[in-house]
Amino acid sequence: MNIFKQLTIVWTMSLIFWTTLSHAQIDKQGNQLPVAQELIIRPYVQYHTPGEATLYWKTDVPGPSIIEYGSATSERKRVKDAKPKTDHSVNLSGLDEDTVYLYSVTTESNGKATTSADYSFDTTFNYTVKPIDATLNPYEPSKDYAQAAEQILRETGITEGYCLVYAAGRGQLAFELAKRSELIVLGVDDDMKAISEGRQILSKAGVYGDRITLMDSTSLDATPFTANYANLIVSDRALTAEQVPGTSNEVLRVLRPNGGVAYISGTEESLKDWVSLNADSFTISKGKKSYWAKSVKAPLPNAGSWSHQYGNTTNNSNSGDTLGGAGKTNEMRVQWLGRPGADFGIDRNPRMPAPLSMNGRLFHQGLNRVCGLDMYNGAMLWMLEVPGLRRVNIPRDAANWCLDEDSVYMAIEGNCWSVDAQTGSLDHLYQLPEKAKRDTHEWGLMMQEDERIFGSTVIKGGSYTTYWGKEAWYDQREGTGTFKVCSDSLFSITKNKTEADWTYKNGLIINATVTIADNKIYFVETRNDIAKASKTGRVEVPEIWLDQYLVALDANTGELLWEQAIDTEDGIVVFYLTYANDMLLITSSLRPKYHLYGFSAKDGSQKWHSSHDWVSDNHGSHMIHPAVTGDTVFLEPMGYSVATGEKLRDDLGRREGCATVAATSNALIYRGENRRVAMWDIEEAEVTSWMNLRPSCWLSVVPSGGMILAPEGGGGCSCGNWVETSLGFLPDFSD
């Protein structure tokens, strides 16, 4: 049997096991016996250091924490913490690299032990940095360097990512910083002799080239580093020099936007002279032994974010990013490349959720795993392996995640996880507000705005999870892969609360249509009794297209603001809703045409209807999601007026192969020439592309934070010699 099918069966069996554990029992005297533990959260894995993994899970009643684990070829080890608890964590150490481990959870109840089916984790994806022995000291002991490193880390709060030691000397400050943090430290100096001595010292100590690298430069005024990459910039020679080396211009050029910190020591006069060209960017303060100049770099101007599947809650596939005016690939440069690679994810076919990005971070889903990265340098922030995370065929559903500046919200089985965006730690758990549905339903759509999160209830098994085989291409024009995932209720929960603010129930809500704008939540539902009686959340009956209503609710209260009976062409292939400029746009795809409708967001009245033929009936040409820029909505190959539906242009550059569109103010990003990732300049109607870079079969390349972000999503494709690595691009003129 294929290994992927085996893993799917294991996942299904383990889900059945956990959902059928017994509840409270009563003895003959009427006393309640200890109840069996039922899993609220199935075990998931986070890596904190190399060679170690921590397993976390949550049960509804207290019990011991018991794990049995081992590789496929090793004897299982057993770890037990007898202390009863509901929030469980077990640390596993001494793990081999690049190894798949199987593990199971054992529960104890009424004197009996029950062991779950196996789960797995793969240490290939332990991306944590190697710590440096705290007792190691290859340099002459120096309290000054140790104290400086401790002050830098304390005062800046930057302990991970990339650190540049500007004027690094022999690398002693670089070493002290690396030893006390998870920073990857690069040093640069125009003193070739000092750099050479530092390399020898660090190499002899066995720490050079992994956590610490020293580079020489002919000048500190122009170092060999890309702009906008370093999380932290400090200086070694500035600790002792009478004048601060180099220029503040170069430090600010290399410093990462959106929170990167430069922290340079010196005398008061030397620092004032050093920052004179950038006085507004620095503050100077007195420390115990010296003065310090500090600068926190602002976000790039006119930078957007990609917080939801199609950019934001309006579903307009536009981040609001200008990319500094760039509209062509040759106006962009590679900012970073690296992890994760193709082995992190699922084959490109199943049309997974889009990556998300906000506040300087990038988030990417793989095969029941998810990671957070620094968007400006690709540094790995955290990685989780989560059973039950997977959701595919997103064009027929809603995505399973969204984010705000501080948190990532993920719909996993019947819960919503609120995960700290910087650390990956689980901060808050939201369960379905209707307790009666927790055994029969799962968390459906996942959206957030301001202080609220929005979710829905979908009958278990409704979301698509199959990712292997012909069926999982999800390019169908009709039949199984086109059935729409629908919710039977919609609700709002205030963040960090538990009870729902409101719950809406009336019809069967088509998940791909839920849209939020101007404190209103819009969607299309069917109120047809046959459709509502469907026993699966993946609705296949044709009556879904009867008794349609376009509905608007107050997002704060759930109050019905208006509803409008509508009659659109059946969205057999796809059916979307988008908000733009006080208009609600419905996209319905039915052989052989796209139909685009414009409705007033004020009252739901229909204003226009336009249609055009598919470019082709395969490889995604019949299921594209629209993108809006300004007053134009683009739907391959047309551009229509949002207000009137008038055809404005039909020259959208030819899209080739599976994938949909993301927009900036100046360009559309999609799979173009020779099936490569391409940009179509809106003003000049010109297509340019990146050689051998391909996206996933849906949406894996997004503009955000002033960048184009392309976490690897094309693995498994046999139609080209693709670069299977993650990349970030910055406008070439963004220094």
- Cα(347)–Cα(299) distance, integer angstroms: 34
What is the pLDDT, as a whole number, of residue 735? 62
Kindly state the percentage of the chain with pLDDT values over 70: 94
Per DSSP, the three-state class of 71 is strand
- Write the pLDDT tens digit of every residue in 33-45: 344 567 789 899 9
pLDDT band of residue 722 (cuts 50, 70, 90) is confident
> SS3 letters for 489-521?
EEEEEECCCCCCCEEECCCEEEHHHCEEECCEE
Q: Which of 534, 431, 440 is nearest to 491 (CA)?
A: 431
Confidence of residue 269 (pLDDT cuts 50, 70, 90): very high
**pLDDT value, residue 330:** 94
Contact in structure between 294 and 270 (CB atoms under 8 Å): no
Residue with the two structure tokens 């988030």: 363
708 vs 117, which has greater pLDDT?
A: 708
CA distance 658 to 488: 31
Domain locations along the chain: 3-125, 143-296, 323-731
How much is the mean pLDDT over the chain?
91
Tell me the pLDDT tens digit for each residue of 332-361: 999 999 999 999 988 888 999 999 999 999
Q: What pLDDT digit, counting tens, does each position of 545-585 carry?
A: 999 999 999 999 999 999 999 999 999 999 999 999 999 99
| Chain-centre distance for alpha carbon 486 | 24
- Residue 613 or residue 109, greater confidence: 613
Question: CA 538, CA 533: separation in Å to the nearest integer?
Answer: 12
pLDDT at res. 426: 96
pLDDT of residue 106: 86
Say which CATH architecture domain 143-296 belongs to.
Answer: 3-Layer(aba) Sandwich (3.40)
- For residues 68-84, one letter each, b for 16 or more C-beta atoms within 10 angstroms of the residue's C-beta and e for the rest, the string is bbeeeeeeeeeeeeeee
Integer angstrom CA distances of residue 229 from 254, 256, 614? 6, 4, 43
Dihedral over alpha carbons 268, 269, 272, 274 (to 10 degrees):
-110
Cβ density class 382-417: b for 16+ within 10 Å, e for less:
bbbbbbbbbbbbbbbbbbbbbbbeebbbbbbbbbbb
Q: Which helix (H) or strand (E) holds 83?
A: strand 77-92
* Residue 665 neighbours by CB under 8 Å, 6+ apart: 318, 320, 321, 322, 323, 629, 630
Instruction: Answer whether 158's CB lies under 8 Å from 183's CB.
Output: yes
Predicted confidence (pLDDT) per residue in 658-675, tens digit: 999 999 999 999 999 889
If you average pLDDT over residues 161-177, what whole number do you get?
97
What is the phi-psi region of residue 324: left when phi exceeds 0, alpha when psi lies from -120 to 50, beta otherwise? Answer: left
Q: How confident is the model at residue 655 (pLDDT cuts 50, 70, 90)?
A: confident
3-state secondary structure string across 368-402: CEEEEEECCCCCEEEEEECCCCCCECHHHCCCCEE
Asked if domains 3-125 and 323-731 share a fold, the reply is no
Predicted pLDDT of residue 240? 83
CATH topology of domain 3-125: Immunoglobulin-like (2.60.40)
pTM of the model: 0.93
- Whether 18 contacts 415, CB under 8 Å: no
DSSP 8-state assignment for residue 283: E
Which superfamily does 323-731 belong to? YVTN repeat-like/Quinoprotein amine dehydrogenase (2.130.10.10)
CB-based contact 106:115 (threshold 8 Å): yes
Round to whole Å and give the CA distance between 515 and 523: 6
Cα Rg of the chain (Å, integer): 27
pLDDT tens digits, 674-720? 899 999 999 999 999 999 899 999 999 999 999 999 999 988 887 77
